């Protein structure tokens, strides 16, 4: 019996090592790594499609609330469910290389290189919008979402396209574009005494948001600034 037990233990240990070896091979398959690297390389550049979707997303949230007259609770529920779905998909693809490859293959125009190893910016975008709506008055929350939707991609595109002078980790041209768009959006929705200082402050926040994703920070930060200045001015 002792001999049989030892034989069984040996076979069991060998089987476990083989299974672990296969799992490790699946996770660290050089071909998958090379394939992902090739797909990630294709997402570099101006990423115009990504920026268009970025602008549309915030605009849809804005119009869903203002034109469809969705209640705050319904909007919060919808964004919460969407955030959980996006987060779960991110965690799955970051754990399973093949899913990450599929993600970059099918959403090539919407993703950026950093998302190959990190949570997608779209996930942080939805969470940022959700936080703004939950924590601040809806008027300021929607203003923050619009600034995120339009000022951020405009600054990114123009900064990459024509930016020449470095400024706080970005470019002076991109930062100026962000400020101009933020002033325009906020001036339509708030008095100038609140809109202009808020635009200047949120532009500074956008430049200093790193290492956190600015898609998470901008909407609630802008809503908070607007709310605070509304109490002071």
DSSP class per residue in 171-202: EHHHHHHHHHHHHHHHHHHS-HHHHHHHHHHH
Task: Kindly state the greatest CA–CA separation across the chain.
Answer: 89
Instruction: Label residue 196 by pLDDT band (50, 70, 90).
Output: very high
Instruction: Label residue 36 by pLDDT band (50, 70, 90).
Output: low
Q: Does a structural domain hold residue 39?
A: no
Size of the chain, expressed as the number of residues it contains: 233
Average pLDDT for the chain: 81
Q: Does a structural domain hold residue 90?
A: yes
Helix ranges (H only) for the chain are 2-27, 30-41, 48-66, 72-95, 97-106, 121-135, 138-162, 172-189, 192-208, 214-232
Mean pLDDT comparison of 97-106, 128-137, 170-179, highest-scoring range: 128-137
Q: Does a structural domain hold residue 23?
A: no
Q: Does a structural domain hold residue 125?
A: yes
Q: pLDDT exceeding 70 applies to what percent of the chain?
A: 79
Retrieve residue 156's tokens: 């990114």
pLDDT digits (tens, 9 = 90+) for 82-103: 999 999 999 998 898 888 788 7
pLDDT digits (tens, 9 = 90+) for 202-230: 999 988 877 788 899 999 999 999 999 99
- Which domain, by its residues, includes 181? 45-232
Per-residue pLDDT at 188 exceeds 90: yes
Whether omega for the bond prior to residue 211 falls within 30 degrees of 0, making it cis, is yes
Q: Average pLDDT, stretch 167-179?
A: 86
189: Cβ contacts below 8 Å, ≥ 6 apart: 139, 142, 143, 146, 195
Res 97: pLDDT:
85
Q: Average pLDDT, stretch 169-198?
A: 93
Q: Does a structural domain hold residue 224?
A: yes
Per-residue pLDDT at 12 exceeds 60: no
Instruction: Label residue 23 by pLDDT band (50, 70, 90).
Output: very low
Per-residue pLDDT at 20 exceeds 90: no
CA dihedral over 187, 214, 161, 63, signed as positive or negative:
negative
Q: Does a structural domain hold residue 32?
A: no
Instruction: Label residue 35 by pLDDT band (50, 70, 90).
Output: low
Res 82: pLDDT:
96
Q: Are 124 and 115 in contact (CB under 8 A)?
A: no
Q: How many domains does the chain have?
A: 1
Per-residue pLDDT at 72 exceeds 80: yes
Q: Does a structural domain hold residue 99?
A: yes
Res 218: pLDDT:
95
Residue 191 to residue 230: CA distance in whole angstroms: 9
Q: Are 119 and 87 in contact (CB under 8 A)?
A: yes
Instruction: Label residue 33 by pLDDT band (50, 70, 90).
Output: low
Res 112: pLDDT:
73
Res 40: pLDDT:
59
Q: Does a structural domain hold residue 205?
A: yes
């Amino acid at each position: 019996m002792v001999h049989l037990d030892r034989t069984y233990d040996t076979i069991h240990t060998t089987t476990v090592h083989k299974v672990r070896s296969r799992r490790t091979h699946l996770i660290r398959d050089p071909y998958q790594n090379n394939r992902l690297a090739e797909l990630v390389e294709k997402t570099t550049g101006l990423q115009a499609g990504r920026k268009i979707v970025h602008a549309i997303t915030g605009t849809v949230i804005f119009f869903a609330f203002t034109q469809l007259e969705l209640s705050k609770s319904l909007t919060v529920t919808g964004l919460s469910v969407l955030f959980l779905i996006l987060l779960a998909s991110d965690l799955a693809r970051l754990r399973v290389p093949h899913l990450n490859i599929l993600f970059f293959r099918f959403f090539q125009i919407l993703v950026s290189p950093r998302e190959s190893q990190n949570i997608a910016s779209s996930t942080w975008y939805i969470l940022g919008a959700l936080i703004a709506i939950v924590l601040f008055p809806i008027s300021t929350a929607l203003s923050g979402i619009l600034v995120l939707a339009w000022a951020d991609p405009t600054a990114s595109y123009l900064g990459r396209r024509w930016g020449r002078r470095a400024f706080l980790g970005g470019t002076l041209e991109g930062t100026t574009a962000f400020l101009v768009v933020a002033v325009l959006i906020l001036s339509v929705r708030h008095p100038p005494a609140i809109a202009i200082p808020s635009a200047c402050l949120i532009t500074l926040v956008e430049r200093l948001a790193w290492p956190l994703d600015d898609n998470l920070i901008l909407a609630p930060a802008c809503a908070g600034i607007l709310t605070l200045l509304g109490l002071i001015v």
